Amino acid sequence: MLIEHNNLEEYRDPINYDLEFGGEIDKYNFYLELAKLNPGEVLELACGTGLATIPLSKLGINITGVDISSAMLEYARVKAQGLPVTFIEGDARTFESDKRFSMIYLTGNAFQAFLSDEDQIALLKTVYKHLEPGGVFAFETRNPLGTDLSNQEETTWGQFLDMDGTTVKVSGTQTYDARNHTMHWVTFRDWGYKKTTSRIACRFTDNDTLKSLLTSHGFNIENQYSDWDKTEFSPKSSSIISVCRKC
């Protein structure tokens, strides 16, 4: 069954996106520590509203953020006024810059937004091209062996307070396309006086395939973790956090 989706639907309300998904301090600290260990300029691909970009910039990291969503970047620039951070609208598959970076990363499971072999390869080519020799590439992705990939009718996922202090109830459905290793989520947000719907598709890549993909495109995998506290990755971990170095 073909399920239509638009991955940008989830990013059309940047202020409330931050309120729902912001505040992951452990994650920001992980990438901050990695940047400090690899001094130089840093690039975040798929940076969104700068949830991870801005905390690094505030602590002295020279950083550039790239994202395909103009709405998310517009809000990122508002939040970053006065900070030494640059935001660029662009597609991570085709991004071009004269700069070379000591570290490039993606977070928020953004790696899963690249839905085909061709997309993943184009992303990795962008990263490889823009890394300095020996530069670091880091990202996280959900582990298919540690994730419930069953089809599910609408269930409650949680809630958050929006910009006006209103409690927004979040629920959704999931449908897994096993042939293409792609989960299709439909998210419903209920304000009480209105209800919104957004759709997003995410590709799941098993760790053996991921390792082969990275090594065949010029990266040496230095570490893999299951959590931001650097717990060693295990086959049933819910996340795969990979730290690689350009060969």
- CATH number of 97's domain: 3.40.50.150
Exposed, middle or buried by CB within 10 Å (0-12, 13-18, 19+), for 76? buried
Domain containing residue 164: 146-202
CA 121 to chain centre: 16
CB atoms inside a 10 Å sphere around CB 35: 24
Q: Are residues 121 and 224 in the same domain?
A: yes
CB atoms inside a 10 Å sphere around CB 64: 21
Confidence band (pLDDT; 50, 70, 90) for 10? confident
- pLDDT tens profile 96-136: 999 999 999 999 999 999 999 999 999 999 999 999 999 99
∠ CA 186-187-193, rounded to 5°: 135
Confidence band (pLDDT; 50, 70, 90) for 6? low
Q: Is the pLDDT confidence value at 138 over 60?
A: yes
Q: Would 177 be classed as within a structural domain? A: yes
- pLDDT tens profile 55-109: 999 999 999 999 999 999 999 999 999 998 999 999 999 999 999 999 999 999 9
Q: Residue 165 carries which side chain, given as an amino acid letter?
A: G
Per the structure, how many domains does the chain have?
2
**In angstroms, rounded to a whole number, what is the distance separating the alpha carbons of residues 121 and 115?**
11
Q: Would 2 be classed as within a structural domain? A: no
Q: What percent of the chain has pLDDT over 90?
A: 94
Q: Are residues 87 and 39 in the same domain?
A: yes
Q: Are residues 60 and 161 in the same domain?
A: no
Q: Is the pLDDT confidence value at 2 over 90?
A: no
Q: Would 220 be classed as within a structural domain? A: yes
CB 64 within 8 A of CB 99: yes
Q: Are residues 13 and 35 in the same domain?
A: yes
Q: Are residues 134 and 99 in the same domain?
A: yes
Q: Would 4 be classed as within a structural domain? A: no
Q: Are residues 178 and 226 in the same domain?
A: no
Q: Are residues 121 and 16 in the same domain?
A: yes
Q: Is the pLDDT confidence value at 8 over 80?
A: no
- Which residue stretches of 117-196 are H helix? 117-130
